[in-house]
């Protein structure tokens, strides 16, 4: 029997390898075909459509082909996704539009300080592997709230788990759909709202029919597209500039050149250096110099919150429910990080190559000599020259002429580029054929869609499995459970698309908040639930409410009600990391009737996101919430009676890989 299963598994793995091998080959052949079509004179817009619709069609076909009517297939892909493939799926699940499009731009802008995000979004998998993932797999849950409910006996803990999950996943999924709309509208020239709903159809086709099973096999396909798309332009760039096709090795030279160029710019009077005496906006912060954009507290806070948040985000944790064994869950975390690493350790290369280009060919050059790609992005409001959107050469020249004493040579402070442009414009900057730009757009779409799939599934599963089945109607038959899951998925998706279509200003910032909220709400309860038998129901419930509550409070007050924060809660201005002085004059803003009436505060309000306690950026609110959560759980648990002996025996069971899962679901 055992050998039979092994043989069947081997055959399954071989078949998977063949399928995805063929798929990758087909994708590369497709790129080559489009490159040939481009040479034959097919217009760019048609190529863009080919890229987007071909990839969307493939995802939809996989989604439809892997549809299922079985509960365990729908929720955990039948628990037979091999470690390596689950690693790829997690990679796609993990890397969102923010990673693909935004990360390199953040590094371009912040230099060394941007690396807090690179470290934070990778190191967390160490915590997943050691503290959480394999144990939740052994437990045998369908969702994270499932675990909380079982461990902390009852539906109140489950309900809190669902609230935390929905709260941190919903804004995150809206950001992904927003990203989809942005990419589709830029590359296909579609109307933004239309593009949002086109992306929505792509997401629904994958996730609705097949649940976790379809999402898994689609995410693997999406990972392949996104990693090929991300690496191709910089590999070409690295070969062009340095003769070696490994950008991760060669960008050191670019960094050395950037540093030399920075000194030259300051010497030539083309840039003003940020110093401890004065460091206003528009001054140059050297690329390799740490702690110029974040204070050390906030720099390490971001690293810590993103890492712990990784180990608390339900849509990531649930991916490790799908492996065949605890052993493979652990291996799978390692594979996940390897596949994520491939993108993250390349992002600084994008930033360095783009920065070198900007510092050598744009700043210090005459305005007449600007290249045409600048105006394509300027038209979309993403590049500004001399304070105006650089839609045409003439607007740029006029804008600079309006500045008194401007010599016509572009200075550092004259050029402002939106961080999203860096990755998307690299092919154009390097003068590569349009087919590469189309490829990058397809990769960005894959990143946004795959993350949206995983998040939507996490939300819909929590609502259908935890709220509907476990709390409202435990006797519901299979068909009805699946129907409810699909209907809920549809409504959550439409709701987040509708929200994304309104272009809410805060949506991308909220991705960072989601990590802190997940960390404050989930991490203490999950970790103590696995590692401390003494943790009690009352303790966990109080801990989740206290930790998550303080984090949410800090976020909402410092972002939307900063005036109240200053008046009633003793918040003060955050500090400039270099000079140590207040970022804003709080008293002056508070006295201004214009800002006093701005309630809740708009994004333009100078106080929004710039006040707080202990100079703590609100992205790092998990630093307040998580310790409080731990403290409350421990203190309250110690005051109450210890959990029953059966429960303690079950917790022991979670730590041993051998044997059946602790929770047995009827299917």
Of residues 549-588, which lie at the interface with other proteins (CB under 8 A)? none
Examine residue 599 and tell whether it contacts other proteins (CB under 8 A): no
Examine residue 123 and tell whether it contacts other proteins (CB under 8 A): yes
Secondary structure of residue 383 in the 3-state scheme:
strand
Per-residue tokens: 660: 């059946």
Examine residue 112 and tell whether it contacts other proteins (CB under 8 A): yes
* Contact between residue 231 and residue 345 where contact means Cβ atoms under 8 Å apart: no
Among 267, 594, 645, 658, binds other proteins (CB under 8 A): 658
| Residue 291 CB, nearest approach to other proteins (Å) | 8
Q: 99: closest CA among 124, 121, 126?
A: 121
Cβ-based nearer residue to other proteins, 257 or 506 = 257
Examine residue 122 and tell whether it contacts other proteins (CB under 8 A): yes
Examine residue 327 and tell whether it contacts other proteins (CB under 8 A): yes
Per-residue tokens: 570: 């003793």
User: Which positions ≥6 away from 496 have C-beta within 8 Å?
Assistant: 170, 173, 174, 177, 456
Q: 621: closest CA among 136, 168, 115, 122?
A: 168
* Contact between residue 123 and residue 307 where contact means Cβ atoms under 8 Å apart: yes
Cβ-based nearer residue to other proteins, 51 or 335 = 335
Of residues 236-255, which lie at the interface with other proteins (CB under 8 A)? 248-249, 251-255
Q: What is the DSSP letter of 624?
A: H
β-bridge partners, 273: 284
* Contact between residue 75 and residue 667 where contact means Cβ atoms under 8 Å apart: no
Find the part of the chain contacting other proteins (CB under 8 A) among 112-120, 190-198, 509-517, 591-599: 112-120
Find the part of the chain contacting other proteins (CB under 8 A) among 155-163, 207-215, 301-309, 577-585: 301-309
Of residues 260-299, which lie at the interface with other proteins (CB under 8 A)? 288-290, 296, 299
Examine residue 126 and tell whether it contacts other proteins (CB under 8 A): yes
Q: Rounded CA gap, 297 and 124, in Å?
A: 18
Q: Kindly write out the interface string for residues 345-364 of this chain, putting x where it contacts other proteins by CB under 8 A and - elsewhere.
A: x--x----------------
| Residue 660 CB, nearest approach to other proteins (Å) | 10
Q: Rounded CA gap, 327 and 82, in Å?
A: 11
User: Which positions ≥6 away from 301 have C-beta within 8 Å?
Assistant: 616, 617, 619, 620, 623
CA pseudo-torsion sign 538, 540, 545, 550? positive
Cβ-based nearer residue to other proteins, 124 or 512 = 124
Q: Rounded CA gap, 408 and 89, in Å?
A: 51
Beta strands in 180-246 (DSSP E): none
Examine residue 127 and tell whether it contacts other proteins (CB under 8 A): yes
Q: Kindly write out the interface string for residues 480-509 of this chain, putting x where it contacts other proteins by CB under 8 A and - elsewhere.
A: ------------------------------
Examine residue 656 and tell whether it contacts other proteins (CB under 8 A): yes
Cβ-based nearer residue to other proteins, 257 or 379 = 257
Examine residue 320 and tell whether it contacts other proteins (CB under 8 A): no
Cβ-based nearer residue to other proteins, 340 or 541 = 340
CA pseudo-torsion sign 461, 466, 470, 471? negative
Examine residue 129 and tell whether it contacts other proteins (CB under 8 A): yes
Of residues 530-549, which lie at the interface with other proteins (CB under 8 A)? none
* Contact between residue 599 and residue 559 where contact means Cβ atoms under 8 Å apart: no
Among 141, 337, 455, 611, binds other proteins (CB under 8 A): 337
* Helices (H), ranges, 66-94: 71-76, 83-94
User: Which residues contribute to the site for other proteins (CB under 8 A)?
Assistant: 2, 6, 112, 115, 118-119, 122-123, 125-127, 129-130, 248-249, 251-256, 288-290, 296, 299-300, 303-304, 307, 325-327, 330-331, 333-334, 337-338, 341, 344-345, 348, 656-658
């Amino acid at each position: 029997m055992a050998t039979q299963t092994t043989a069947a598994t081997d055959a399954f793995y071989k078949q998977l390898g063949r399928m995805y091998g063929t798929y990758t080959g087909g994708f590369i052949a497709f790129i080559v075909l489009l490159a040939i079509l481009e040479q034959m004179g097919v217009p760019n817009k048609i190529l863009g459509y080919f890229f987007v619709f071909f990839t969307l069609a493939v995802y939809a076909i996989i989604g439809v082909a892997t549809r299922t009517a079985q509960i365990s297939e729908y929720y955990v892909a039948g628990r037979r996704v091999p470690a390596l493939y689950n690693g790829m799926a997690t990679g796609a699940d993990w890397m969102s539009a923010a990673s693909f499009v935004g990360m390199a731009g953040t590094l371009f802008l912040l230099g060394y300080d941007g690396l807090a995000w690179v470290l934070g979004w990778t190191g967390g998998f160490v915590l997943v592997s050691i503290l959480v993932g394999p144990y939740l797999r052994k437990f045998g849950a369908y969702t994270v709230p499932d675990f909380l409910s079982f461990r902390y006996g009852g539906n109140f803990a489950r309900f809190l788990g669902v609230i935390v999950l929905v709260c941190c996943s919903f804004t995150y999924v809206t950001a992904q759909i927003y990203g989809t709309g942005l990419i589709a509208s830029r590359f296909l020239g579609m109307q933004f709202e239309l593009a949002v709903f086109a992306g929505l159809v792509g997401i629904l086709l994958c996730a609705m029919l097949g649940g976790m099973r379809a999402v898994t096999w689609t995410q693997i396909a999406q990972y392949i597209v996104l990693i090929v798309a991300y690496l191709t332009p910089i590999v070409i760039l690295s070969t062009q500039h340095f003769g070696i096709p490994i950008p991760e090795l060669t960008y050191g030279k670019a960094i050395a050149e950037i540093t030399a160029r920075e000194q030259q710019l300051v010497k030539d009077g083309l840039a003003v250096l940020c110093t401890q005496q004065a460091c206003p906006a528009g001054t140059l912060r050297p690329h390799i110099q740490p702690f110029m954009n974040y204070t050390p507290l906030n720099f390490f806070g971001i690293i810590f919150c993103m890492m712990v948040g990784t180990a608390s985000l339900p849509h990531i944790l649930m991916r490790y429910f799908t492996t065949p064994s605890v052993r493979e869950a652990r291996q799978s975390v390692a594979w996940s990080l390897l596949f994520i690493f491939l993108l993250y350790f390349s992002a600084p290369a994008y930033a360095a190559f783009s920065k070198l280009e900007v510092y050598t060919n744009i700043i210090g050059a005459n305005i007449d000599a600007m290249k045409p790609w600048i105006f394509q992005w300027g038209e979309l409001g993403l590049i500004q020259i001399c304070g105006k959107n650089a839609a045409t050469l003439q607007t740029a020249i006029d804008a600079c002429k309006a500045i008194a004493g401007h010599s016509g040579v572009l200075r550092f402070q004259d050029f402002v580029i939106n961080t999203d442009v860096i990755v998307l414009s690299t092919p154009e900057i390097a003068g590569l054929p349009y087919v590469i730009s189309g490829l990058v757009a397809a990769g960005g779409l894959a990143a946004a869609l795959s993350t949206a799939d995983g998040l939507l599934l996490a939300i819909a599963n929590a609502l259908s499995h935890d709220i509907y089945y476990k709390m409202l109607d435990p006797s519901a038959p299979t068909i009805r459970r699946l129907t409810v899951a699909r209907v809920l998925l549809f409504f959550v998706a439409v709701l987040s698309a509708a929200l994304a279509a309104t272009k809410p200003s805060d949506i991308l910032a909220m991705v960072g908040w989601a990590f802190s909220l997940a960390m404050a709400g989930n991490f203490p309860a999950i970790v103590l639930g696995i590692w401390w038998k003494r943790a009690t129901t009352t303790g966990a419930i109080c801990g989740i409410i206290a930790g998550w509550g303080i984090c949410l409070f800090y976020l909402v007050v410092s972002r939307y009600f900063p005036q109240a924060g200053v008046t009633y809660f003793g918040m003060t201005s955050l500090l400039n990391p270099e000079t140590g002085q207040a970022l804003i004059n709080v008293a002056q803003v508070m006295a201004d009737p214009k800002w006093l009436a701005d309630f809740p505060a708009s994004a333009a309000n100078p106080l929004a996101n710039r006040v707080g306690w202990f100079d703590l950026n609100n992205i790092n609110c998990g630093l307040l919430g998580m310790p409080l959560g731990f403290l409350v759980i421990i203190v309250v648990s110690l005051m109450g009676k210890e959990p029953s002996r059966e429960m303690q025996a079950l917790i022991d069971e979670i730590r041993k890989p051998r044997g059946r899962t602790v929770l047995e679901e009827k299917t």
